[in-house]
Structure 1
Amino acid sequence: MERNDNPALIQKGDGTRTPLFLLHDAGGTVFSYYKLEAIGRPIYAIHNPWLKHEERWDGGAIKFVHEYIKMIKKIVSTGEILVGGWSLGGQLGIDIARVLAQDSLSKIRVVGIVMIDTLYPYWGPPETVHAEFPVDFVLKNCPPELKADVLRCMKWSKEDSDEWVARNWKPDSDKLQGIEADKPPHAVLLLATKYVPKDKTGGNARVMVDHMRDAKVGWDLFPHQFIAAVWEIPAHHFGLFEKDTIQITSNRVRMACDLLADD
């Protein structure tokens, strides 16, 4: 189960260095971040406070953004921070950075975004066929009492992301308004290079998260060029925190923070 603290301090590190706030994935949890090896700076994890709610939250992804900014300000009142996370976490980090940059009264500035295989959430035209999502494989270690909550959050987060894409679509970049018109701070994309295992009956279809695996996971469709570096990790999307991969994932996160923060 998630700890009650939100944000939760998961690594103390060197308190003089820029802290990193890692946002939850689409399932709403932050279990994976506890597996990271020492990064060398304070790391906080923010889980989805609506994880256990059986009714859909209102307000879309921006609701999370404003709520998480309030949470971050309880920890850091002034200065520079890093944000990001795995999958959806990196996407939330983009908007947290943009909202803070628009707030002339904010004393907090996001200096960089760590995107751990964060996908541009476009899954192809309506007729695109995806391989069936391997629930039992992906959630094999998820406690049974939590599985339904995670799957529900994943469904609702996808709906939010579909709406997010509609507001952040490159062909319409000349029409962007609000935070969508603002370029995020520099980011590092940690890119998984392997494909998620799937049932052989799926043919040539890919699991949704691999739809644009060979095209920088779709970020060329985003209207802003903000990714400073793309570093590969030899794993699939759901294997980035496994025992045989966690060392390189941790190393890449450490390197990304060091590149983005001037500390």
Structure 2
Amino acid sequence: MFPGGPNPSKLQSAPGTTNLPLVLIHDGGGTSFAYFLLGELKRDVWAIHDPNYWEGKTWPGGMDEMARHYIVLMRNAGIRGKILLGGWSLGGLLSMTIARLLADDPTALLTVSGTILIDTPYHVPNAETGVRDPDMSNLPKLIQKSFQNCDIYLEHWRVPTFSGPAHGGKPVRLRGLPGEPELQRGQYLHMPVKGEGEVKQGQTYEFNEFPEKPLAPPPGVLLRGLRRAETKSGQTEECTIDMFRDDELLGWGGRYPDFIKATYDIDSAHFDIFDKLNERKLEIVTDRIRQGVELLDMLCKSGQ
């Protein structure tokens, strides 16, 4: 990632694979550096950074304008067909926005078949919750500016809605896992830091005005950090990013039912997930992302 460089950047190539390509979108800091730290994911992997990063400019149209521009960036890079889309924090929210825009466009050259949210809590508008960030004074000025811009974008923004359950509400057999468990409507796989995964019952939602052709979100998988971010000196309330920290689905379950199909725990705080000085943690994060995208591959092949 550098001024005038490719955007998206192609980070990994896997010629001949049938695995879906993965496009990862920048976090609130605007950069894609974190994704360069990932190990092998056995597929083509692309990363998008904020093209306004170096000038510190805002997007007047906020999240929707960014999402539309990123669709153009992917198209210009030659990315076509079914893809997996995701990102860390804000990147996960932008992925949901892009998925909704593409679902509304019958002429689109891209289809989002699954989303991977890397510690992306469900977003409640900042105007309703307030913003309580950790101390970011040690970060580069451009990254601080990017985070400030994000607070503007998220002041009143809401997660886009869909009119049907992910994967059509159909049961999903998790082949390759011990016992090959089957997920029913509203169920998800929870993978703790240690030990075997467990199928759990979340909330379901009855779409009372079920349209003839419901618009369903692509199935999602979630990586959840277990630790809370350090707060500013003297700050008594937890950071906004930790509002749903104790929820295995980070707030998505009760507000976006039948969406998250698996959640993977990581022993980390939100802002420390991609710690370039902790090689072991990066290996764990890579492994969790690999498990998540492989599960999404399976869902796609099972008839999404």
Deviation at 1:200, TM superposition (A): 5.9
Contact 1:123 1:208 in 2 (8 A): no
User: Which has more radius of gyration?
Assistant: 2
Structure 1: 5+ residue runs without aligned partners?
140-146, 169-173, 175-180
Q: Are 1:91 and 2:93 an aligned pair? A: yes
Report the Cα distance in structure 1 between the residues aligned to 2:141 and 2:110, rounded to whole angstroms.
Answer: 36
Q: Which has the higher contact order (CA 8 A, sep 6+)?
A: 1
Q: Residue in 2 aligned with 1:60?
A: 62
Instruction: State the Cα deviation string for residues 204-258 of structure 1 (Å, max 9, x = none).
Output: x212211221133222453453111111111110111121411111011111111
> Secondary structure of the equivalent of 1:99?
helix
Instruction: State the Cα deviation string for residues 36-75 of structure 1 (Å, max 9, x = none).
Output: 0111111100000011234432111011111111111123
Root mean square deviation of aligned Cα: 2.7
Report the Cα distance in structure 2 between the residues aligned to 1:202 and 1:214, rounded to whole angstroms.
Answer: 20
Between stretches 1-10 and 249-258, larger displacement belongs to 1-10
Q: Are 1:250 and 2:250 an aligned pair? A: no
Contact 2:8 2:73 in 1 (8 A): yes
Q: Residue in 2 aligned with 1:103?
A: 105
Report the Cα distance in structure 2 between the residues aligned to 1:75 and 1:161, rounded to whole angstroms.
Answer: 28
Matches within 5 A, 1:2-81: 2=2, 4-16=5-17, 17-81=19-83
Report the Cα distance in structure 2 between the residues aligned to 1:69 and 1:208, rounded to whole angstroms.
Answer: 29
Deviation at 1:2, TM superposition (A): 3.3
Aligned partner letter, 2:148: K
Aligned partner letter, 2:265: E
Report the Cα distance in structure 1 between the residues aligned to 2:241 and 2:152, rounded to whole angstroms.
Answer: 15
User: Identity over the aligned pairs, expressed in percent?
Assistant: 31
Deviation at 1:129, TM superposition (A): 8.0
Q: Residue in 1 aligned with 2:190?
A: none
Contact 2:25 2:92 in 1 (8 A): yes
Contact 2:93 2:159 in 1 (8 A): no
Structure 2: 5+ residue runs without aligned partners?
162-206, 208-213
Report the Cα distance in structure 1 between the residues aligned to 2:145 and 2:258, rounded to whole angstroms.
Answer: 32
Q: Residue in 2 aligned with 1:134?
A: 135
Q: Residue in 1 aligned with 2:243?
A: 211
Instruction: Give the 3 Å change call, closer, same or farther, for CA 214–124 of structure 1 in structure 2.
Output: farther
**Counterpart among 122, 139, 147 of residue 154 in structure 1:** 147
Q: Residue in 1 aligned with 2:169?
A: none
Contact 1:88 1:119 in 2 (8 A): no
Matches within 5 A, 1:167-186: 182-186=215-219
Contact 1:122 1:218 in 2 (8 A): no
Report the Cα distance in structure 2 between the residues aligned to 1:21 and 1:166, rounded to whole angstroms.
Answer: 20
Between stretches 246-255 and 217-226, larger displacement belongs to 217-226
Instruction: State the Cα deviation string for residues 175-198 of structure 1 (Å, max 9, x = none).
Output: xxxxxx954200101011111123
Report the Cα distance in structure 2 between the residues aligned to 1:190 and 1:84, rounded to whole angstroms.
Answer: 11
Contact 1:25 1:86 in 2 (8 A): yes
TM-score (norm 1): 0.82
Instruction: Give the 3 Å change call, closer, same or farther, for CA 164–245 of structure 1 in structure 2.
Output: same
> Secondary structure of the equivalent of 1:230?
strand
Between stretches 68-77 and 149-158, larger displacement belongs to 68-77
**Counterpart among 239, 255, 266 of residue 222 in structure 1:** 255
Contact 1:15 1:42 in 2 (8 A): no
> Secondary structure of the equivalent of 1:217?
coil
Report the Cα distance in structure 1 between the residues aligned to 2:235 and 2:65, rounded to whole angstroms.
Answer: 36
Contact 2:28 2:91 in 1 (8 A): yes
Report the Cα distance in structure 2 between the residues aligned to 1:52 and 1:107, rounded to whole angstroms.
Answer: 29
Instruction: Give the 3 Å change call, closer, same or farther, for CA 250–182 of structure 1 in structure 2.
Output: same
Report the Cα distance in structure 1 between the residues aligned to 2:85 and 2:100, rounded to whole angstroms.
Answer: 11
